[in-house]
């Protein structure tokens, strides 16, 4: 129920913003509400609950809206930022899905990785999860630092 409340407040802010910015903001609000509901409620048989729609709805769309609201135009920087955020979301999802499966659903991992120098590396859940977790942490820190740099560049 909290999710609906948050989405309702966000939509109300968007509608109020449309009075200040323009009618086109209503289109953006409608698309945003649809993306949130379609993904989270797995509407239309879950067709919108995929990695691609995650990247579009939670990565690209917010970037597009943020740019559009500030610039009130779509140009190549907007397309680049939107595409970059989609790519970052794809990377995040590509890492988080297998590590989540390891942590939540894996009961046993068996096997040994044999290297060309004869070293045998035992396969374990922590050993398989660690590089994925480090990459996810690096993505989180990296995007936060890029965002801070962009803010600093505006001052």
Q: Which residue(s) pair with 121 in the sheet?
A: 113
If phi > 0 it is left, if psi is from -120 to 50 it is alpha, else beta; for residue 120 that is: beta
CB neighbour class for 26 (10 Å; exposed up to 12, middle 13-18, buried from 19): middle
Q: What angle (nearest 5°) sits at the alpha carbon of residue 20, between those of residues 15 and 23? A: 60
In which residue are the tokens 């579009």 written? 56
Provide the whole-model pTM. 0.81
pLDDT tens-digit profile, the chain (155 residues): 666 788 888 888 889 988 888 888 899 999 999 999 998 888 899 898 999 999 999 999 999 998 888 888 889 999 999 999 999 999 999 999 999 999 999 999 999 999 999 999 999 999 999 999 999 999 999 999 998 998 898 88
Contacts (Cβ under 8 Å, ≥6 apart) of 106: 125
């Amino acid at each position: 129920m909290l999710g609906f409340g948050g989405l309702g407040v966000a939509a109300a802010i968007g509608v109020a913003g449309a009075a200040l910015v323009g009618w086109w903001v209503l289109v953006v609000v409608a698309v945003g509400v649809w993306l949130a509901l379609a993904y989270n409620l797995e509407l239309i048989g879950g067709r919108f609950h995929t990695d691609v729609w995650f990247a579009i709805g939670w990565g690209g769309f917010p970037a597009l809206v943020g740019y559009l609201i500030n610039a009130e135009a779509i140009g190549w920087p907007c397309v680049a930022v939107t595409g970059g955020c989609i790519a970052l979301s794809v990377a995040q999802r590509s890492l988080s899905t297998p590590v989540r499966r390891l942590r939540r659903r894996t009961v046993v991992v068996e096997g040994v990785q044999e290297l060309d120098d004869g070293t045998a590396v035992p396969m374990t859940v922590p050993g398989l999860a660690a590089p994925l977790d480090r990459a996810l942490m690096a993505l989180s820190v990296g995007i936060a630092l890029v965002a801070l740099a962009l803010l600093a560049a505006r001052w």
